[in-house]
Structure 1
């Protein structure tokens, strides 16, 4: 995941150019920012892959990275799986204009 909108755009262009270089049409490749798809022969196997990766996740490090991006957001490890309130969403929106938080706020879709 890229830390800024500009870096995400550079990444996107790079991936699309590499696809073309290997003979595929760039429009055939979909780039999903901020998600990690898990593909396997069955949904059960995909879930197992996801769970194995989750077990390797260092949530302390993830929180540290999160706080580097959203410096003004006061959040702790035990709050990572909780819903954000409107004030927290606004802080996230101000910190990074490409975030889903900004899109939710601008579309009026958040009812915190």
Structure 2
């Protein structure tokens, strides 16, 4: 349980409820969910392992691929989804983590920025 301070009432206890990876998976748009499922199947992982918080390379490299594919294949109102939005789909990650995942996937696969666009 965390605490927040209110100027009017002093300390307020705030209970945060963690969102499990299965719930995040269900909240994804159908096309994003399909990409995550395809990448998970390709690497013989479960979808929740792919979007989870695990830093292990066995999860992170496939996650980089899924993030890259979501960014390059999905269009929302004619443009790519924002980095914070993609981060929310992938375990509540920060936008800088998504930037790093995109960069790392490009490095690992010999892609350039021009090919990514």
Give the TM-score of the pair, scaled to structure 1. 0.23
TM-score using structure 2 length: 0.23
